[in-house]
């Protein structure tokens, strides 16, 4: 029995809860959308660190510094928990964040290799991820735990997150990158592919077309959202009784107009994005 079902017979709506969510850019919007569906009454604060995206091509020290900076900002906004909606930031910085703020739930994301193995028929699994995620010790440990259970094909995708970050999903450059990165997985005969970056679900249709209709794409956003609800439901102190929908606030270290445009296009929500100080000299 999950932590959620152990405490209630109905899903936790998020009433009385404030959740911080951050990513190197717009990719974490896929996780934000899933959290919104799981906890429609929660107040959500999203930070896109687009001024420094993508993290997958940055050093570990830089990613840790940015993750600390943004988590501090979210704490100042009174959040009850933080979702690190970035595979690379989770791999590099989530352990340090939990040490810095042990009282605050820090929820990370990681490529869903275990559920992919359960889903796969031929036990040939592809993983699409940033170079930073694949190079991290956390990811290497994940692979070590499961490499005996399946044939894993790890495909680094340099430049893919950066191209998606532009917001234009019809660019020829994007189509070229997708074809380039999917080709080795097709040649390997994988039947399940893990989307190991939160940017990638936004090009799931293009990935599916390139890999073939019989290949299953696995995105962990829904699982992360359910896990977040399970952890945060006990944080409610005095829930409001007149809330019909939680507020969602958007911040970015990049261009607020671009975040607003992309969020409205990808999510179908009315969005106002605010400029956040980068914290860099």
Query: What tokens were used for 23?
Result: 């990513």
Q: What is the DSSP letter of 174?
A: H
Contacting residues for 94 by C-beta, under 8 A, at least 6 apart: 67, 84, 106, 108, 138
- Residue of 47, 83, 197, 258 marked active site: 197
Q: How far apart are CA 166 and CA 78, in angstroms?
A: 30
Q: Which residues pair with 154 in a beta bridge?
A: 127
Residue 182 among the catalytic residues: no
Report in angstroms the alpha-carbon separations of 88 from 2, 23, 93, 185. Answer: 27, 9, 8, 21
- Residue of 17, 38, 86, 160 marked active site: 86
> Quick check: 163 and 262 in contact, CB under 8 A?
no
Q: Which residues are catalytic, by number?
A: 86, 197
């Amino acid at each position: 029995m999950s932590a959620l079902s152990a405490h209630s017979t109905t899903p936790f709506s998020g009433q009385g809860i404030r959740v911080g969510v951050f990513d190197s850019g717009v990719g974490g919007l896929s996780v934000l959308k899933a959290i919104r569906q799981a906890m429609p009454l929660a107040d959500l604060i999203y930070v896109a660190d687009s001024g420094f995206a993508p993290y997958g091509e940055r050093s570990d020290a830089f990613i840790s510094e940015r993750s600390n900076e943004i988590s501090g900002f979210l704490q100042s906004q009174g959040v009850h928990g933080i979702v690190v909606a970035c595979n690379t930031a989770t791999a590099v910085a989530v352990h340090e964040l939990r040490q810095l703020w042990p009282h605050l739930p820090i929820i990370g994301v990681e490529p869903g290799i275990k559920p992919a193995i359960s889903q796969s028929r031929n036990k040939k699994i592809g993983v699409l991820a940033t170079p930073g995620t694949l190079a991290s010790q956390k990811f290497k440990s994940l692979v070590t735990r499961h490499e005996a259970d399946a044939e894993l094909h790890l495909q680094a995708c340099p430049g893919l997150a950066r191209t998606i970050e532009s917001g234009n999903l019809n660019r020829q450059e994007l189509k070229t990158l997708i074809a380039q990165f999917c080709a080795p997985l097709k040649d390997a005969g994988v039947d399940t592919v893990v989307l190991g970056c939160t940017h990638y679900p936004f090009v799931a249709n293009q990935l599916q077309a390139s890999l073939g209709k019989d290949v299953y794409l696995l995105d962990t956003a829904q699982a992360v959202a359910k896990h977040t609800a399970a952890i945060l439901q006990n944080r409610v102190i005095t829930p409001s009784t007149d809330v019909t929908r939680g507020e969602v606030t958007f911040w970015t270290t990049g261009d607020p107009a671009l975040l607003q445009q992309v969020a409205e296009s990808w999510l179908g929500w009315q969005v106002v994005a605010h400029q956040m100080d980068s914290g860099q000299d």
